[in-house]
Amino acid sequence: MLTENRLSRLNVGPTDPSTSVAAVFDRSYRHLSIPAQRTYRLLGLHPGLDLSPALATSLTGMSTDDTATALMELTRASLLTRSAEGRYSLHDLLREHATALAERTDSDAERRNAIQRLLDHYTHTACPAAAMIRPSIDELAIPLGEPSPGTVPESLTEREAARAWFQAEHAGMAAAVLRQPEGELDVQVWQSGWALSGFYYVRGHMRDQVVLQLAALGAAERIGDSAAQVHSHRVLAWSYTGLGRFEDSHAHLTQALRLAIATEDRIAQAAAHHGLANLAALQGHHDAALEHSRRFLELSTAQGSRIGVARALNAVGWYHAQLGEYKEAIEYCERALDACQAVDSDLRPHLEAAVSDSLGFIHHRLGRYERARSYYHLALARVREAGSRRGEGEVLSSLGELHLSAGDPDAAREALQQALEILTDIGHTGADDLRRRLADL
């Protein structure tokens, strides 16, 4: 076995096999209690850098108290490290040692059940919390069902707690999903993709989003879930658009719309039209963008989607503005701002940020600089409240342009530099334009 061969080559002494790294680990392991030994082996199945006590509880399937006792024993034996934040991690070599032990000691079924509990913990914690991170246009209901026995999901009821959980767990969750062979735990794979999509969007993790959603799409296709396929196609389109891969984006949006029409899912159709509008506008086709947005509004209104109506009103107003039709633009965007009030307060910052940004743009174009500045500052406050780095970078860029128009190049340079740092960090295609813009100042 590769793992054992690597460990066996790492010797503390040149000739004595009893002092090899593997032998040292084996001695420490043999002195553990049976529950701690089992916990150690199963921890090796988790591919993330660290994990919380709650996640460890689901992974082992033991009680919270028994898991805590086992974790404490492993820490005292120096087989596990506990951080100041209370999270636990294995050194890479210890992980390999634990994984090798699990492969020798635990049956395939036992290891598969542990991985299922791990993914069930992730999905049953993340899916209910995802709407607090970013509102979903399609309002797709996730049929979670019951978690597997021994799984103890976490309950997150506040946005800040949800945001902190995603920040701590997203890398390990994605790694666990991507580690699954095709056809293994496909339901949990696509549900994980759905749950992480909003966090990845607001944090600007577009490349990670593509990798994860391709796995989620494959899983959704294997289980024949059309709604899940539509969602993954749309998320892939968002990501490809942000990466400047417009042909790939259009292909996924077209497929999403085709599937949504075939299943008569009007909310999913509305969301696909929204994506097509955005893509058309980026390619300079504002008339087409406006038509897609009108269809988006019609479908959202017919289905009574409050989130969809607020977004669609803003989209129609925005594309009127792109065409220089500012009277109509203000009318639709002010209606959108009113529509935001009908949306649950946890979701409102995302929507109000987008509408305020639109109104800032419109008043900027009309030469109403103070009013534009007021709307941009409101948008900036809302994107920061929502935790959207992508949104923050885009609003700062718009604010910088406003400062230039108002004759304040120093303030403009500061805002544009902040925007550049954010958009560069998240890999946004707008970073190159900003870099050239700053070079010209």
Which carries the bigger pLDDT value, residue 147 or residue 16? Answer: 147
Q: How far apart are CA 114 and CA 38, in angstroms?
A: 11
Exposed / middle / buried, residue 407 (Cβ in 10 Å: 0-12, 13-18, 19+): exposed
Do residues 52 and 87 lie in contact, with contact meaning Cβ atoms separated by under 8 Å? yes
Question: pLDDT tens for residues 358-408?
Answer: 999 999 999 999 999 999 999 999 999 888 888 999 999 999 999 999 999
Residues 6+ apart with CB under 8 A from 172: 46, 47, 48, 49, 50, 51, 55
* pLDDT confidence bin for 7, thresholds 50/70/90: low
> Within 13 A of 437's CA, how many CA atoms are on the CB side?
19
Q: How far apart are CA 357 and CA 19, in angstroms?
A: 65
Do residues 39 and 50 lie in contact, with contact meaning Cβ atoms separated by under 8 Å? no
Q: How far is CA 171 from CA 46, 55, 231, 240, in A?
A: 11, 14, 21, 21
pTM above 0.85, yes or no: no
> What does the block give as tokens for 171?
């890398």
**Number of C-beta neighbours around residue 193 at 10 A:** 28
What is the residue type of 346? Answer: D
pLDDT value at residue 159: 82
Question: pLDDT tens for residues 65-121?
Answer: 999 999 999 999 999 999 999 999 999 999 999 999 999 999 999 999 999 999 999
pLDDT of residue 148 exceeding 90, the answer is yes
What is the residue type of 43? Answer: L
Q: How far apart are CA 336 and CA 381, in angstroms?
A: 18
> What does the block give as tokens for 5?
């061969």
What three-state secondary structure class fits 398? helix
Question: pLDDT tens for residues 285-343?
Answer: 999 999 999 999 999 999 998 889 999 999 999 999 999 999 999 999 999 999 999 88
